[in-house]
Amino acid sequence: MIKTLFRPRSRRTHKGAPRVLLIIENISVARDRRAQKQLKSLLEGGYRVGLICRSDEGNARFRQPGLDLYEYPAPPERGGTAALVFEYGYSVLAAVLLVVRALRDGPVHAIQVGQPPDIYFAPGYLAKLFGTRFIVDQRDLSPEVYEARFGKSEGALARMLRAFERASWRTADHVITVNDSLVQVVIQRGGLPPKRVTAVKNGPLLSAVARRSGHEELREGFRHLVCWHGVMGPQDHVEFALQAISHYTHHLGRRDALFVFMGDGVAEAALRQMAVELEIEDFIRFTGWLAEDSCFTYIATADLGLDTNLQPEVTPVKAMEYMAYAVPTVAFDLLETRLLAGEAARYVKVGDADEMAREIARLLDSPDERRRMGGIGRNRIEQEFAWDRQEERYLEIYERFLDGKRA
């Protein structure tokens, strides 16, 4: 590990500009579209950026002038709480070592950590003692993710996660969230004043989701194409989509749709086995993790997108990307999903896979309704949720804290 952390590299810095250090724990920058957008905004905003994340072959395409990329080997992905504790401990140690290395390359004026996990408050507090600003980018809530993944809301580890969460928020100079529901959670659960919390929503860059033609060969001869994409963790509940497909094929007698699952994660092997046990493997493709261009080409071809999130406070990023390509979504009826998608989605009772199957069938049989819903979704992205509409709010936070340090 140490050899990887401190291997030689070429220096790529812009003298005189303030320097922001981004830390991502549970994913590489090649797979983290929110971090990619933030990185682009900071560099174009005149900042130098250091980025600490897991190593990945895809990270290489982000190397550019003004960016210092610091990578560490990813820990093994296993289920269970012991593996979770090991991952967190390993990752914070690797990050601290790389922060030291980043400091050797020049001063750091601000550190931004992507959470969860909420494990960087101690080094964040130490950095603040030397005048460095500490920014938390809260994407999900650790206690809720833990409960969704392991079915536990109490116990020593759950209490520790809540304590780490409060410590992170109270240490931060500012907390960024992905939606307004999380703003209220941070204010109420963390005891922060509203002026220290800002929602910066997580829509796609309009340039990244420019109109593109679908590729009919991706349908593999099926009349319809339905997509799901993302990280396949236990908390993502992709099993409900497989149950819906089983009902669609075996109980509704439909053989007209191909269902494509783009992504990977600790739950992928079990999902593949589940597809075999449900006897639906002929109607499903697991593609593994796809590059953004390939993923978006599938979405542009699709008739429908699926979302299986069960956490009401989570804004589904995948739904925003379906909406950007005017693809309607079938999702569980949750607060943030409704606030995001509005009439661009159809909602079913939480956890009801059979109703999800019936809604898929209804929409696949209604092309005019799909077009209407798709147009609503595309308009909502263009007018409100696109990163192009959120970027100014994001950069204003750094301008507030790093005023006077800009080159």
Res. 13: pLDDT tops 50:
no
pLDDT digits (tens, 9 = 90+) for 160-209: 888 999 999 999 999 999 999 999 999 999 999 999 999 999 999 988 88
Within 10 Å of residue 242's Cβ, how many Cβ atoms?
22
Are 20 and 50 in contact, with CB atoms under 8 Å apart? yes
Per-residue pLDDT at 161: 86
Could you count the other beta carbons within 10 Å of the beta carbon of residue 199? 20
Which of these ranges, 1-10, 203-212, 357-366, has the smallest mean pLDDT? 1-10
Q: Tell me what the mean pLDDT of segment 237-246 comes to.
A: 97
202-222 pLDDT, tens digit per residue, is 999 988 887 778 899 999 999
Confidence band (pLDDT; 50, 70, 90) for 350?
very high
pLDDT class of 1 with cuts at 50, 70, 90: very low
47-95: per-residue pLDDT in tens?
A: 999 999 999 989 999 999 899 999 999 887 666 677 777 877 888 888 8
Chain position carrying tokens 């005017």:
326
198 Ramachandran zone, left/alpha/beta (phi>0; psi -120 to 50): beta
Task: Give domain limits for the chain.
Answer: 2-203+387-401, 216-385
**Cβ(117)–Cβ(25) below 8 Å:** yes
The percent of residues in the chain predicted with pLDDT above 90, rounded, is 63
The architecture in CATH of the region 2-203+387-401 reads 3-Layer(aba) Sandwich (3.40)
Provide Rg for the chain, Cα atoms.
Answer: 21
pLDDT on residue 75: 80
Tens digits of per-residue pLDDT, 271-287? 999 999 999 999 999 99
Is the confidence at residue 373, as pLDDT, over 90? yes
Q: Omega into 117 within 30° of 0, i.e. cis?
A: yes
Same fold, 2-203+387-401 and 216-385: yes
H helices within 325-402, ranges in order?
335-341, 353-364, 367-380, 387-401
pLDDT score at 15: 59
CA distance 45 to 183: 25
pLDDT digits (tens, 9 = 90+) for 15-47: 578 999 999 977 899 989 999 999 999 999 999
Confidence at residue 405, expressed as pLDDT on a 0 to 100 scale? 56
**Could you give the CA distance from residue 333 to residue 234 in angstroms, rounded to a whole number?**
19
Q: Give the pLDDT band of residue 260 (cuts 50, 70, 90).
A: very high
Q: Determine the Cα–Cα distance for residues 177 and 14; give it in Å rounded to an integer.
A: 29
State which amino acid sits at residue 207.
S
Task: Return the pLDDT at 78.
Answer: 66
Q: Give me the pLDDT at residue 240, please.
A: 97
Averaged pLDDT score across all residues of the chain? 89
Mean pLDDT score, 277-303: 95
CB-CB contact of 336 with 314 (8 Å): yes
Give pLDDT tens digits for 303-328: 999 999 998 888 888 999 999 999 99
Its CATH class, for the domain covering 216-385, is alpha beta
In this prediction, residue 397 carries a pLDDT of: 95
